[in-house]
Structure 1
Amino acid sequence: MKKNYIALDMFAGGGGLTEGFIRQGFDFAAHIEMNEHAAKTLETRLCYHYLKQNKDLSHYADYYMGKINREELFDGINEPSIVTDSIVKHEINDESEKILIESIKKNLYEKYGRTDVDIVIGGPPCQAYSLAGRGRDKKGMKDDPRNYLYRHYISFLEAFEPEMFVFENVKGITSAKDQTIFPDIFLRCKMAGYHIDSEPRIINASKFGVLQNRERIIIIGWKEGSNYSYPEFKQSSLRGKVWDLLNDLPKQQAVKTNEDIFLPYVGECSEYARAAKIRNGFGGVRHHAARYHNERDREIYRRAIRKWKHGEGTRLKYNELPEHLQTHENKKDFLDRYKVVNGNDHSHAVLAHLAKDGHYFIHPDIKQARSLTVREAARLQSFPDDYFFEGPRSAKYTQIGNAVPPLMAEGIAGKIRKMLA
C-alpha cells in the first residue's frame, strides 16, 4: 500500500509549494498563511483538488468560467470543512506560536492519529532578505521583524519532529543582517536536532523546466543521524521558450475597460505548455485582462521593445529616453527601469513587484505595448491555467511573484518522497 506522507506548509502564500507536493501525493496537516487573499486562493485550489479526486470538476469549471460565485462553489461540496479546515489564517508571532502548534497537533491527532508530520515546507516572506527590499529601505531592512521569522519555522520543526524539511528563500538571505542570518539558521537547526549543509545551495528554477531564470536558496534538512543527503536534481528534459506560453492567448490592449472574464484560447497548444501541464482544463483562461497604461508609458514600452529586438538583446536605459518621456529626477541610478521579457528564450525572474507596476515585465509584442497579464505571469511561474487566484489584481500578482513555481516544487517533492520511502 502506498504510504501517504503528511506535510506542513508554513508561510504558504498562494500555494506554489503546496501544489507541487500535492502532485507527488503528499497530504497536508495545515497550510499557515496570514494574508487573506492568498488564504482564499489556497481554499479555492484545495477545492479544485477535492473535486478532481472525486472526478467531478464541472462544478469548479462553472466557478472558473464565472457561471457561479464563490459561495455557490463551496455550497456544492457536501462537507466544505474537509477542504478548508487545513488552512490556518493567522500570523505566526511570539504570541500565536504556541497556540497554533497546539491547534494543529489537535487536528492532526483527530485526522491521522498522530501529532508529528513527515516534512515541513515553506519559507518566510523574503522582503527583509531581498536586495531590492533592502535597497528601498533606509536601514537596509535591518530593523524589520521579518528578519527573524525563520526562528518560528525552527520552533515548528521542534514541535512536529519531521524527518525532513524544505526551506526556500531568496539569495539575499546569505547577506542579510550583515551576513548573520544564515549562520544563525545553521546553528539553530543543529540545536533543534537537524542537519543542513553549511553552505546554502542556490538552485535555478529552469533546472525543473520552468521558463524563467529564477535562482533561489533551497535549504533541505534532515534529522541528525539519518542516512539522508542533499538530493541531486537533474536537468529537466522540458524545452521551450516564452513565446510558447504567450502565442495561444488572446492579444490584449492596455485599456481601462478590460475585465477579468473567461477568454477562449486563440492558438494551438505548444508542446511545452502541454508537457509542462500548463494549458489544461476548460478551453480558455481567466486573469488575462491587461492593466491600464498611459500613452507615455506605452511609448516607452515600444521603444524598449524596438531596442531589445533590433539591438540583439540590448536593454533600454532610462537616461536614453527623450526628455519629454523622462519624469524621474534620478537619472544616474536604476537605469534599467524598463525590461522586456525575452520571448525567444527564458524570462528573467518574475517578482511580486509586478503588483506595483509592469515596467520590468513588458510583453515582447510591440503591437500590444503593455505589461504582462496575471495569467501570463502565472504561466511563466508554471502555474496551470486552471489555477484561480483570489483577490484584486495587485494581490494576484503578489501571490504569483512570491510563489515557488509548481514545476520546481513538484521536482523537489518527487525527490523528497523517494528519500522518505
Structure 2
Amino acid sequence: MSEKFTYIDLFAGAGGLSEGFIRAGYEPVAHVEMDKAACYTLKTRVAYHYLKSENRFNEYISYLKGEISRSELYNKVPEELLNSVINLPIGDDHNETIHNEIEKQLKGKSVDLIIGGPPCQAYSLAGRARSSNGMKGDKRNFLYVQYAKYLEIYQPKLFVFENVYGLLSAGNGIYLDNMKKLFLKKGYDMKIFKIEANNFGVLQNRKRIIIIGVKQDHKIEIPNLGSVKLVSGDNVSSILEDLPEVQAGENKGHFTKYKTEANTYLTSSFIRNGIDILTQHHARPHTDQDKEIYRIAVQKWNENKERLSYNDLPERLKTHKNRKSFFDRFKIVASDQPFSQTVVAHIAKDGHYYIHPDVNQNRSLTVREAARLQSFPDDYFFEGIKDGNARTPAFKQIGNAVPPLMAYGIAKKIIELL
C-alpha cells in the first residue's frame, strides 16, 4: 500500500495487538501504555522496525547479543519515533498531555483506527472471584468511557476493542450494555465476536471478546470474525522442538543457538523469521519440592495421559491449605495437544501451571517458550525497568498480551474493508 492506514493503540501493553496490525501493513501513530516496563518493550520494538526498514538490522542483533546497551540502541532511532510510545495512564488527569503527544505524531494526518482494550481484570471471572466485592467500584470497570472520549476526538473509521469473555457477564451485563449505548452516542455501531486464538493458528486455548465498531457514516460491513477457522493441525511440540534443553535456574547468557532448523509451523506463524540467535530462553529456579511435583505431573501425563490432581500428591508435598478447590494448580504444557492452556499474567508469580513436558528438563516454561505460545516472534524482546534479566515483567507482559498471530488475522480481515 502506498498510503498505509493509521492507528492509535490504547492500553497497548507489550504490543501484541499492534504487532499483528503492523504485520498486516498498518502504520502506528502512537502507543499509549501506563506500565513502564511494557513501554520499554514497545520502544525496543520501535527500534526493531526502524532499523529493519533502514537496512541496519545488524544493529538490532547487536542489542540482542548484549553488545550494546538499551540506551545505545535507542540512540540509533529518531527521538520522534521513540516519543510515539506514551508512558501515561489514560484518564482525565493525563489525557491532555497524551493528546498533545499524539498530535505531534499525526502531523495533520487523520486516524483510521483505534485499537486496544482496557485491562481485563475488572471484567474477568477470575478477577471478580478474587475480589472481596466482585470488583464493584473498581475504576478499571469504566475505562471504556475513556476509550469513547478518544473515539470522539479522533473520529476513526473503525475501532477494535479486545477483552475477556467475562465482559459479557460483568455487572450482570450492564457494563456491556452501557458500552453499546455510549459508543452509539459517539457515532459508532458495534458488533461483538467471541473468538478463540487457536482458530487463528495460535497453539493456545485463549478465548476472547473482540468488539468491532464502525463509524455510522461509513457503509462498511463488519466481517464475521467468529467464522475464522485457520486451525494449523500442529501440536504444541511444534514450538518446543527446536529449542535447546535448559535446566531449572540455568542461564546461558544473553543469547543461545537453536537446536534444529525451523519447522513449517514456526515459519508460517512468523515465530522463526530469519534471526539465528535465541534470547530470553532462561529457566527460573525451582525448589527441590517443586521439581519433585513437576516430575510427578509430567510422568502422570506422559504415561497415562492424566492430569495431576493436587490431592493425589504424597502428603509430604502438600503445603497448600486449600484442599477443596484449584486441584490443577500444577499443570503440564502437554506437547502432544493441539493447544496449551491459557497463558495469563500469573505466570510472572510462579510457573506451576506451565510445566515443561520434558521430564529431563524438569522445570517451568522460559520467557521465550511462553512468548511462543502467545505467537510472539523470536526477535521480540521483552524489557524490564532496568537493563538485564527482565523475567518477571516479561512474563507479566506476555500473559496480558494479545497473540500477534490472532491480531494479524483480525487486521487482515479489516484491511479488506478499508
Pick the TM interval, shorter chain: over 0.9
1:98 aligns with 2:115: no
Letter in 2 for 1:46: V
- Report the RMSD for the aligned CA atoms in angstroms: 1.5
Letter in 2 for 1:232: N
Match of 2:10 in 1: 10
Pairs within 5 Å for 1:107-186: 107-108=105-106, 110=107, 113-114=108-109, 116-186=110-180
Q: Larger deviation: 134-143 or 290-299?
A: 134-143
Provide the secondary structure at the position in 1 that maps to 2:267: helix
1:333 Cα shift?
1.3
- 2-structure distance, mates of 1:98, 1:84: 19
Pairs within 5 Å for 1:188-337: 188-197=182-191, 200-233=192-225, 234-236=228-230, 238-255=232-249, 258=251, 260-312=253-305, 314-337=306-329
1:82 Cα shift?
3.6
Provide the secondary structure at the position in 2 that maps to 1:219: strand
| Unaligned segments of structure 2, at least 5 residues | 385-389
Provide the secondary structure at the position in 2 that maps to 1:141: coil
1:385 aligns with 2:378: yes
Match of 1:87 in 2: 85
| Residues 193 and 224, structure 2, Cα contact 8 Å, conserved in 1 | no
Q: Relative to 1, partners in 2 of residues 1:82 and 1:106: Cα closer, same or farther, differing over 3 Å?
A: closer
1:260 Cα shift?
5.0
Match of 1:35 in 2: 35
| Residues 281 and 385, structure 1, Cα contact 8 Å, conserved in 2 | no
1:386 Cα shift?
0.6
| Residues 389 and 396, structure 1, Cα contact 8 Å, conserved in 2 | yes
- 2-structure distance, mates of 1:201, 1:69: 42
1:176 Cα shift?
1.6
Match of 1:72 in 2: 72
1:259 Cα shift?
5.4
- 2-structure distance, mates of 1:122, 1:36: 17
Match of 1:21 in 2: 21
| Residues 280 and 384, structure 1, Cα contact 8 Å, conserved in 2 | yes
- 1:28-68 C-alpha deviation (Å, 9 max, x unpaired): 22100111110000000011001111122000000011111
Provide the secondary structure at the position in 1 that maps to 2:12: coil
- 1-structure distance, mates of 2:151, 2:50: 28
- 1-structure distance, mates of 2:222, 2:378: 32
- 1-structure distance, mates of 2:76, 2:208: 39
- 1-structure distance, mates of 2:134, 2:304: 35
| Residues 280 and 368, structure 2, Cα contact 8 Å, conserved in 1 | yes
TM-score by length of 1: 0.94
Letter in 2 for 1:61: I
- 1-structure distance, mates of 2:170, 2:66: 44
- 1:362-385 C-alpha deviation (Å, 9 max, x unpaired): 111111111110000001111111
Moved over 6 A (4+): none
- 1:396-420 C-alpha deviation (Å, 9 max, x unpaired): 0011111111111111111111111
- 1:84-142 C-alpha deviation (Å, 9 max, x unpaired): 0211110111222234224423442x2xx23x310000000111111122222111212
Q: Relative to 1, partners in 2 of residues 1:94 and 1:82: Cα closer, same or farther, differing over 3 Å?
A: closer
- 1:274-318 C-alpha deviation (Å, 9 max, x unpaired): 111111333121111100110111111111112222232x21111
